[in-house]
Chain A
Amino acid sequence: MANEEKDSKISRRKFVKNSGYVAGGVVGGGLLGSLLGVNFKGSEQTSTAPVKEAKFNQALMYFTRQADFKTLGAATERIFPEDDNGPGALALGVPYFIDHQLAGSYGRNDQEYMQGPFHDGTAFQGLQSPLKRHEIFMQGIRALEKESQSDFNDSFTSLEGEQQDKILQKFEDDKVKLKGVKASEFFDLLRSATLAGAYSDPLYGGNEDMAGWKMKEYPGSQMSYINEIEEEDFVEMKPSALHEHL
């Protein structure tokens, strides 16, 4: 009684290509175009290749716009780039880690004192922004884009690495004005979240395949080192994740 529809996987890109939805030029207020994302370069292959292992966790819980997510990804990759040592932030899934964290209590500062009044503090009194982290990230990421548009007349994700660094540097040096938070405070959060995403347990969506740990020769969560602690030489171990404890 049921028809099996074969090859029914329609990714967004394929859909648009096949449906003629856009071809007719009827794009509602120029809106659908933006759904395709700013950067589909090279992603064609990944979706047509047979799925090796479905990484369902690699989808978005917090971000709503592809463009924001791509900007975030590009910025984290500059902070922690791919090199001879191994993968950078993108390949480690750091942007997914940050997305999931911003959707959670980290993003909402659930365990932090967020009552007013808010005043600017001295350099020794800690962050005093009334903004929650997810608000800081959203504002900061949009500002990265705005800044690269104004400095280089192009979107952040399309810039050369060095140009991206220049933009990021402006944030780190507080040469950009944000609302309710300093650009350097956003940058610090971005940097620390990038490192956390590179090196936290893969449970949280980053440190993919424990590749961050492998690069650092860190064995993750081991039960014991009682037999190795007195070893004179460096001991290389295959890392182990929290998942192994269940």
Chain B
Amino acid sequence: MVKSKRKPVEEIQNSIADFDKILTVGCGGCASVCLAGGQREVNALNAELGLLFKSEKKTKKLGSYTVERQCNMQFLVELDEKVKDYDCLVSMACGAGVQLMAERYPTLPVFPAVNTVSIGVDREIGMYEEKCRACGECVLAYTGGICPVTRCAKGVFNGPCGGTNRGKCEISQDIPCAWLDIFERLKGQNRLDDIMKLQAPMQWQNQVQRTTVQEPYARRYYK
């Protein structure tokens, strides 16, 4: 799912410096699962902000609330009454959640409290690895289930490049070469033919805002 990371508290404090009544809203979806923006983080952020404001001798009203998911309007409805008591909102959801909330409350400033990092997998508690860049044209079929767009530093489609360094990427000995892994996996599956052919340039899909309409629903939305 979407992985995010809390911003430094100073940055959040900066963005809300001019407001006195602040409601921090958590998200029970991805942000919660990756331990970045669930109820627990909302409470922690407010505690930190409270201490900072106290040290500056400022009294501010800090509210906290967590909704099921911020990326669906129906879950934001329950905030309608609450937000009336506040003059700005801090969202701990991914970029999508922040924007939907800003859209629902156009007169209220909404500030992000997390940086949306990636679409990734859970490796260990609190450690997540990026796996997908949502390029919109999945090539995993011929790359042995290893994404060159995400994992290769140069995102080449006809790798490995000449920078492969003892099985690692040229940019760091900590990073395994994606294309070496692709090669090894395809070789193991006897599928090297998949990368023998020259791969044509990518038709990048992620250049304009995309709206996804699933096929069975096409008749509803396309006239």
Instruction: Decide whether A and B are members of one complex.
Output: no
B contacts, CB < 8 Å to A: none
